[in-house]
Structure 1
Amino acid sequence: MASWPLRQNSTHQARAVLLRLELVKKHGVLARLGQGYPFAKLQSNLEKSRISIVAPQSANSFLLTLFSELKGDKPPIQLIVASTGREAEDIEQELAYLDPEAEILLFPSWETLPHERLSPSAETVGRRYQTLARLHELSLKPPVHQVYVLISIRAALQPIVAGLEKFPPLSLVQGSDYLLPELSLKLVEQAYQRVDMVSRRGEFAVRGGILDIFPTTAEHAVRLEFFGDELEEIREFSVADQRSSTTKLEKLTLYPARELIITPAVASRAREMMHEFPNLSAMLEKISLGMPVEGMESLAPALADAMISIFDYLPKNVTVVLLSPEKAAARAASLVETNEEFLHAAWDAAMDGASAPIDLSGGGFIDFASFSQKMAKFQLVTLSPFGEDSEEVVNLGILEVPNFKGVDATALEWVATQIDQGHLVFISAQGHGTAERLREVFIHGKLQADLVDEFPTDPKPKTIYVIQAPIKKGFVSEASKLTFLTNTEYYSKSSYASPQVRKLAVKRGAAVDPLTLKSGDYVVHEIHGIGRFKELVQRTSGIGSRQHQREYLLIEYAPPKRGYPEDTLFVPTDQLDMLTRYVGGESPVISKLGGSDWARAKGNARKAVRKIAIDLVKLYSARMNSKGYAFASDTPWQHELEEAFQFQETPDQLTTIDEV
């Protein structure tokens, strides 16, 4: 009995040695990262149904790759749930670089809300179908390689039409025979739109024996040339000039362009609902005739057989990895709240005299509690930057790369310190020119640096490895003596250019010019509410040699309690878009910092705006339903009167006459 634990421990040690050898063959950075006690503890917990890991978000892609390697000879299918679609796309690029032999599937979310009368783009629908079709294949035949399925929390919370795996994609093979009229009907069934000239995804055109089509999942449009019924050639072409390229294909796979397939059952339900919901009669009539229509996916809860979750499409041997669960829960709550606001607005319009809305609650976002119950059926791994000290939580001891702004030590000095402490240092850049420049900077700083094409399997000590890789952020592992940083972190620049660039917004009113403000003028801060401008001041920021002066607008707010001094807020001059002049009454009520009065006032304004929107919808609906008066055409006497006008019309008068 006493020898059994020793034998088991020896087995684990031998397996760990073999695994480390495999990691070294793959690339040295994962082998170095997998060293140390935290990762040994992680490997001992691999068979548990729930694993909680504490690590910064910047190390997620490395840990996902390492986790698949720790599984050994049974590579699982990982369903990776990210907080946003952009995060999922970034991880897709990083995993493709770190694990090039793996298969990566991305399941994007709709660009629209579930109940909006707008269809998602054909590209989005095609990629979703492609992922669902591949998951169905994996459920029938388990893979022999690693598979990553990336999905955002928004896509995971939205129900999906059941039975989509019953509609396989349309495959066209060069040299096979097809009836062109029958092929056109199949494309219409898959919601492809027939046009005169193909210009975007989800369209096709027929000209004699040539079929032009832009598949929903392809980078370029494709031209199919027939000789009789034989598909003679498949060639890509440019939609800009409609010229064929030299790229030829042997096979073409076409995925549907709409997520709701119009089956006989769907058409029958649409026909029955036409008289029950007159406001949707135009859309339902087209669906009943088998014609795809814009926004028909919003009616899926009422027309489809059932709505299910993405988890119902997954094979059994799946590990669910939830990234940043705290952020995902907050995002889920926001989506559910937005969904309920749209539903309440529809019922508010119904109470004011509009038609009762159709019940589409089955297609709305599910809450995070229901989402957690569905995840509990699989092995669940959570990767969070926050965690508690517990035996159940595996803290890998990984840290983020520090920000070098406002500190005395430079990035070069920090890297030199990491090397002196025995760290293996990697720095990545997305451009080759940037990587070469980084190597020159390190050599000029009297540090050994090598520019490499891939991670070395046998790294040299006291050497910085510069590599071109699509990695967004780095990390530091003290247990593994590994430092990985990017060029944006080295130069203390943001790696993400937000599309919402801070600028002076026109909709917020007249911009505040601090030079024209006088002491006592009332201003409105977007977050904190109404305050009183006092003066323009300068303050010192930073420490040591990085100290600098900044100008601020000093805004006074109401005291938190009676008898207390007034609160003050320093607004930097580069955030003037947050301030506007007060244009209301002469003596407004000053807001309190941190109080709820300003938030309540903005909430009441939103309700008023929503009511105005409902009234406008009803007004325009009544205008469209009302019958107009058709005037008769101009008589000869009318033309005679116009020609007798003795003055020359001005250009504006002529324009008005044409418009009327």
Structure 2
Amino acid sequence: MAGVDPSALGIYLSQFLSQEKVNLLALPDKRIADPVFNDLTGLLGSEFVSYIGTEAIAGIDAGQTVRAFHKLLARQPGIYFATYGDLLIGTSATSLHNYRLSVGITYTFNTIVEDLVRFGFARERFVVEPGTFAVRGGVIDLFPGEMDHPVRLDFFGDTLDSARTFDPGTQRSITDLSEINFYNQKPFDEESKSSLASLVPPDVQVIFYRPSYVGSADSVDINTLVNSFINNSIVSINSGVPDAFNGRVFSIEPQASFHRNLDAFRHRLSYLKELGYKTYITAESTIQTERLLALFDESKFTPIVFNLSAGFIDHTHHLAILTDHQVFDRHRRRNVIQRLFPASPLTTVDEFNEKDFVVHLDYGVGVYLGVEIIRVAGVPTEVLAIEYQEGDKVYVPIDKMDRVHKYEGGDGPPKITRLRTTEWDQLKFKTRKAVENYAQELMKFYAQRFQANGFAFSPDTDLQQKVEAAFLYDETTDQLQATREIKADMESNRPMDRLLCGDVGFGKTEVALRAAFKAISDSKQVAILVPTTILAQQHYETIRERLDDFAVRTSVLSRFRSPKEIKATLVATEKGEIDILVGTHRLLSKDVAFKNLGLLIVDEEHRFGVKHKEKIKEFKLDVDCLSMTATPIP
């Protein structure tokens, strides 16, 4: 085949490749492999599509490439991706060797550690990612890429006493094992003369894709590579049309990017309809397809929920498959189902340094002494050692370390708890009573707020839909749910009081900005209160970048502004000429007056002092309020 643009390669391969055969797709580089792998994974499923390479493409960890390497050599049906360079690179002498460890067998402990390094495992302080191992005392944790969970090996001397898989986040055991088998985690070796291509079984079908930019300078490598598969069935696909080509020729062009120019995109849709082309627009969610139908004439296209890397127009078949992210400049979510591992366990040994103050939920405040290995029921067990008053110690097993946290109190060292007394229980009781008293005060305040009449915001407008469609990323399910619930609260006649809780980088700001734009659409002003000057500036810049195209007037009150600029901002705010005002506690000053405040957004409210919180309560009495935090608040 010829004339197949890279943007269409994934879709066309999915139409003619048999899922019952073993197919090896040879691509010139990762730049093409990444989007094609993404598209085929979405079309055929991650269990059928695999990648083999020295450097994993986006969404694939090193362990998955090891698994794919051995699946290909075992002739398991599927599509296997590899670049030209990786097919020609050498494989290590141990790439096909299986390493086995059995419970009850005696080994040389240090030799196993050396073998793990020789088999491509990287030594770390703590095992989280595939291809790593850690050693602590007589315990070896390792994570073979072929497995879904890491394994903990407990040795008694040089004898393997037990083996079990465990959760790297909680450190809890999952399944006991009688033996463990794994392969070399880094099967490639540039100095070896035995290439990956030479190991491919002869009954594997090899598909070569050659884009137009692969010129004569690369022909020697390509010819050498092709000659490596003289016993295999070979299919060639070209993006251009070679001279004297006798095969099937397509005329396919990639979709242009419209950079949010919706009028230009409407014109393109009309032009394609006049030519009689069948047009589809792909989007990553149902909510996004609904926005497309609201923004464009639905008689000119059919929306499809699918994550396509790039759109294209097939003039041979009068077919156009376009993507929404090339219209709105949105970042796309990948089809590749990446194995998710915690960035670090919920509580890790690495969080604590010796002599740190720590808090055990059951025993109180103590001093962390480090990790020790003690025997429990005759089995060597890793524990955290915590010292309390009078030299008393508590040993916490690794799988119970979630009950231990670093002390984060006020200034000065804390008082160490005395064991075998009611001291810790009394402290918890006093704290609980103080919380109850504060809760009663809050209940009185919210009873007054519940009886107050708020402003009922209007339902979403077309402009609101346009703002949300222009979001660069695909929303998560939680973002969409939070947005719906916040809008429902805003459209009621009672003052909203919502807490939006989410980790840093998980999209709280986007949810808040959608609420802010909804308020602005009803001619209301928005105040965004933050605890620090740096955060105020960050929010200000984010709002400018996100909403400047929609004529939203934004300003900020912080020490980065001159007295003259602050005075001008205060005057403009009082006149209603500022839509969104961002600031620190300066927003709570008496000289700050809004003409028509409709929404207060408070970021990290728990970081404000008591006096500031009292002032915030005055704001909240009859104004919709949205609080955001990355710290769960009881």
- With normalisation by structure 1, the TM-score equals 0.42
- TM-score, normalised to structure 2, is 0.43
**Greater relative CO (CA pairs within 8 A, separation 6+):** 1
